Homo-oligomer: A and B are copies of this chain.
């Protein structure tokens, strides 16, 4: 496994892969790797001859009051995990390598980046779009693998790739969960034992939402109320949102029995922000 930390090294390694005809499957991460990331890496292994993983805690996607400084970092542990997964290249640049000066360009997704997590985290998806564009241009993968856990991010990256004609296929891998349903997240490490127990309410809420959809509920507001109630029943959680939206446009559907839906929830346990979602495709009539 090769660890590269500069853009120049990454480009020259990529050039070598190209000259020798090796396709590249790429998994961008912020490190603090868990089994959810490893599911992405394993999918990448199926998709490309070479697997590249980036580890970069991207400052431009954190708000000024968010957890950029305390976000967990463990390059040694991450590298050991990736080596055991037979990853070929790890790209782990310092912040100054990707941002030698403050970027001027702003990548926005009007209508898609100001709902759900974007409504709570102003500028977050602009930062995600910027860094993904940079990483795509540096790594130049044939395919890039993202997790369904960050459903809004995955959708925006699919639009970024399509709208800007990046020559990259985008693959989205299902969320990996603990036995009790909690979606894996690097931020779960912040949870106290009590908060950890409380956090299972997010997945229960999504299940209750899905039951309502499957029972034929047409009104997205009622589906949202069912999910919000489940999270409100857990005193250690503070609800941020519980939404039932179209899977492609993230807007409230006129009729929840139509088209693919995304059920999405966010809540805080203490200062830790947790998100989860469930894509729901109604069985046909």
A-to-B contact residues, CB < 8 Å: 7, 11, 18, 98, 103-112, 129-130, 133-134, 137-138, 140, 159-160, 163-167
| Cross-chain contact A105 with B163 (CB below 8 angstroms) | yes
- Not counting A104-B163, A105-B159, A106-B109, a sample of 12 additional A-B residue pairs whose C-beta atoms are within 8 angstroms of each other reads A7-B165, A18-B18, A104-B109, A105-B108, A105-B109, A105-B129, A105-B163, A106-B107, A130-B163, A133-B165, A134-B165, A138-B167
* B residues in contact with A129, CB < 8 Å: 105
* B residues in contact with A140, CB < 8 Å: 167
Minimum C-beta distance from A112 to chain B (A): 6
| Cross-chain contact B164 with A137 (CB below 8 angstroms) | yes
Minimum C-beta distance from A160 to chain B (A): 6
| Cross-chain contact B104 with A164 (CB below 8 angstroms) | no
Cα–Cα distance between A112 and B105 once the two chains are bound (Å) = 9
Closest 5 CB pairs of A and B: A105-B163, A103-B163, A137-B165, A106-B108, A134-B165
* B residues in contact with A134, CB < 8 Å: 163-165
Query: Which residue of B104, B109, B110, B138 contacts A165 across the interface (Cβ within 8 Å)?
Result: B138
Of all chain B residues, the one with the shortest Cβ separation from A10 is: B165
Minimum C-beta distance from A25 to chain B (A): 18
**Complex A-B: 20 CB contacts under 8 Å:** A18-B18, A103-B163, A104-B109, A104-B110, A104-B111, A104-B163, A105-B107, A105-B108, A105-B109, A105-B129, A105-B160, A105-B164, A107-B107, A130-B163, A133-B133, A133-B165, A134-B163, A137-B164, A137-B167, A138-B165
* B residues in contact with A105, CB < 8 Å: 107-109, 129, 159-160, 163-164
Cα–Cα distance between A130 and B165 once the two chains are bound (Å) = 10
